[in-house]
Structure 1
Amino acid sequence: MSQAITVTALYAPASRPELLPKALASGADAVLVDLEDAVLATHKDTARANAMALLDDLPARPGVQVRVNHPRGRFGPSDLWTLGTHPAMRAGRVGLRLPKVAGPDDVDLALDMLNVDTPPRVHCLLESAAGIENADRIAAHPAVAGLALGEADLATELGLRGEDSYAWVRSRIVIAAAAAGLPAPAMAVYTDLADPEGLAASCAKGRALGMFGRSALHPLQLPVIAAAFRPDQRELSRAHEVVEAAAGAEADGSGAIALPDGRFIDAPMVAAARRTIQLAARLA
């Protein structure tokens, strides 16, 4: 599946091996095999072994990432050294999800520990003030494939309260990702599993800021997230109108593209309209 239309990503704690096949079969666009926050310190070794066993039998599907512990911490080096020995990681079939990235040197350290010839796609979680301040430098690292926020840690460090308090940091990484040519950042997990209405409203706020897609803690959140990022009928109609106007301009050789109401559109708007149509078809 193209990363550009990845909408849902489901976390699965590697300490619970019975959940890993279920996560792969959940319909999520990406499965995030977690060795970090969802795993108790006493279960880290077992979780690492479970993750390696999963990679042994990994089906031929894209979108699997392993979230390791931080490379400067107690468990991260073992995670990275071990993963670096697996053929799936060495072949680039598995992505690396790196938490608490404060700067591009954290990415370099993780790759040094991984010690593979071809770096995997690295997805960086920015969870500190330092990470937000260095977002543009992190995004520009050649191995980095995407940015996301770790909002719980940010809230603790910065004293953030309520959904609206994240607006600036969300916008900051949206701009950093776009400037580096990366996909729009996905939103962080919504921790209240019993509040689908709150999840939908939160997704709408993130989408309005330029974020796209979201990580989930439970499969029941996946359809709510998909619906929140699905283009509505008005957006889809507008996209078709733009694409049809562009096709007409190409056919008559005019080069100028105008909608029936007289508004002019340009090439980036046409490209965005085509992406909207593609996304709506996939999420239909």
Structure 2
Amino acid sequence: MTGFPLTWLYVPGDRPPVVAKALTSGADVVVVDLEDAVAPDRKAYARSATAELLCDPQPVPVHVRVNALSGPWARADLAAVAHAPGLSGLRLPKVSSPADVVRVARRTVSAHGGALPLYALLETALSIERAHAVATAHPSLRGIAIGEADLRADLGVRDDAGLDWSRSRVVVAARAAGLAPPAQSVHPDIRDLNGLAASCAHGRTLGFLGRAAIHPRQLPVIERAYLPTEEEIEQAETILKAAASDQSAQALPNGTFIDTAVVKAAQRTLSLTTRP
């Protein structure tokens, strides 16, 4: 994959055959969900099935979204999976403060002895207000993202554009904290691939990189939306070639002005072209 994952496929932890298929779906990261996708009476089974799966290394990075940290199931989730050899990261839902991240970080160590990568999901108005504080809460935190369904309900937002301010705030917070650009939240209609593509294009303009998915058919749409076009690649190569021969600020024949910021953007564009 690229230096940054572009596709994060959520699958319910209580459906092992679906999880097995997800591991060969082409997703950059598979997220086994113990939270919203699992009914209360299936929580224990989902937890044990996921722990069994993660006893062995997996062909792609596997993250687990545990249940809400303030609820009755999170402690058991963490105890079951946090030290598993096949686990690559934990996704923490409904994080409301830096203290939530710190508590989990202090209780989790990877099976290899190092810090277990943590990812915080911001799903309330309060968590959006605290986005930068959460993003800098602990060195184990590797990313933040928005849980848009819950945030939409909390804000009473009816139109999708009503979330754009919150989206931009999280993008800025991640950058300010030195974290990877956030991935977009899921597009809930798995049949609406045109709408997904349009939404991804909008997310890209806001500074997101990649997206969570809930069905394999969404993966190629997300990947196409976030990978650079041939024209963008050609432009980036032209910029880097010009910068290599003359490191001062300059203008290309097409009028594009080149400075350090433009060169960095071109380097990032080309970094996204390397796929497995």
Mark the CA change 1:84 to 1:263 in structure 2 (over 3 Å): closer, same or farther.
closer
Question: Where in structure 2 are the equivalents of 1:123-134 lying within 5 Å?
Answer: 123-134=119-130
CA contact under 8 A between 1:83 and 1:114: conserved in structure 2? no
CA contact under 8 A between 2:6 and 2:28: conserved in structure 1? yes
Find the counterpart in structure 1 of residue 261 from structure 2: 268
Deviations 1:207-241 (A, max 9, x none): 11111100000000001111111212332222111
Find the counterpart in structure 1 of residue 39 from structure 2: 40
Q: Is 1:104 matched with 2:98?
A: yes
Find the counterpart in structure 1 of residue 223 from structure 2: 226
Mark the CA change 1:39 to 1:282 in structure 2 (over 3 Å): closer, same or farther.
same
Find the counterpart in structure 1 of residue 131 from structure 2: 135
Q: Secondary structure at the match of 2:212?
A: strand
1:248 to 235, 240, 245: 245
Shift of residue 128 of structure 1?
Answer: 0.5
Aligned equivalents of 1:138 and 1:95: distance in 2? 17
Shift of residue 256 of structure 1?
Answer: 4.1
Find the counterpart in structure 1 of residue 163 from structure 2: 166
Number of aligned positions between the proteins? 273
Find the counterpart in structure 1 of residue 25 from structure 2: 26
For 2:151, the aligned partner's letter is L
Aligned equivalents of 1:281 and 1:87: distance in 2? 27
For 1:124, the aligned partner's letter is A
Shift of residue 274 of structure 1?
Answer: 2.1
Counting aligned pairs with the same residue, the percent is 46
CA contact under 8 A between 2:121 and 2:145: conserved in structure 1? yes
Mark the CA change 1:208 to 1:16 in structure 2 (over 3 Å): closer, same or farther.
same
For 1:120, the aligned partner's letter is L
Question: Where in structure 2 are the equivalents of 1:42-121 lying within 5 Å?
Answer: 42-61=41-60, 63-89=61-87, 94-114=88-108, 118-121=114-117
TM-score normalized by structure 1? 0.90
Find the counterpart in structure 2 of residue 5 from structure 1: 4
2:174 to 155, 177, 181: 177
Q: Secondary structure at the match of 1:97?
A: strand
For 1:168, the aligned partner's letter is W
TM-score normalized by structure 2? 0.92
- Comparing 167-176 with 77-86, which one deviates more in the overlay? 77-86
1:213 to 210, 214, 217: 210
Shift of residue 108 of structure 1?
Answer: 1.5
Mark the CA change 1:5 to 1:113 in structure 2 (over 3 Å): closer, same or farther.
closer
CA contact under 8 A between 1:243 and 1:270: conserved in structure 2? yes
CA contact under 8 A between 1:245 and 1:258: conserved in structure 2? no
Aligned equivalents of 2:14 and 2:256: distance in 1? 56
Deviations 1:173-222 (A, max 9, x none): 00000001111110000001111011111111111111110000000000
Q: Secondary structure at the match of 1:280?
A: coil
Considering only aligned residues, what root-mean-square deviation do their CA atoms show, in Å? Answer: 1.8
Q: Secondary structure at the match of 1:120?
A: coil
Aligned equivalents of 2:86 and 2:224: distance in 1? 32
Q: Using CA pairs below 8 Å that are at least 6 residues apart, which structure has the higher relative contact order?
A: 2
Shift of residue 281 of structure 1?
Answer: 4.5
Shift of residue 114 of structure 1?
Answer: 3.2
Mark the CA change 1:118 to 1:70 in structure 2 (over 3 Å): closer, same or farther.
farther
Mark the CA change 1:262 to 1:217 in structure 2 (over 3 Å): closer, same or farther.
closer
Aligned equivalents of 2:198 and 2:65: distance in 1? 27
> What residue ranges of structure 1 are gaps of 5+ in the alignment?
none
Aligned equivalents of 2:255 and 2:62: distance in 1? 46
Shift of residue 82 of structure 1?
Answer: 1.8
Q: Secondary structure at the match of 2:252?
A: coil
Shift of residue 154 of structure 1?
Answer: 0.6
Aligned equivalents of 1:122 and 1:114: distance in 2? 10
CA contact under 8 A between 1:177 and 1:183: conserved in structure 2? yes
CA contact under 8 A between 1:30 and 1:65: conserved in structure 2? yes
Q: Secondary structure at the match of 2:16?
A: coil
For 1:278, the aligned partner's letter is S
- Comparing 114-123 with 152-161, which one deviates more in the overlay? 114-123
For 1:99, the aligned partner's letter is P
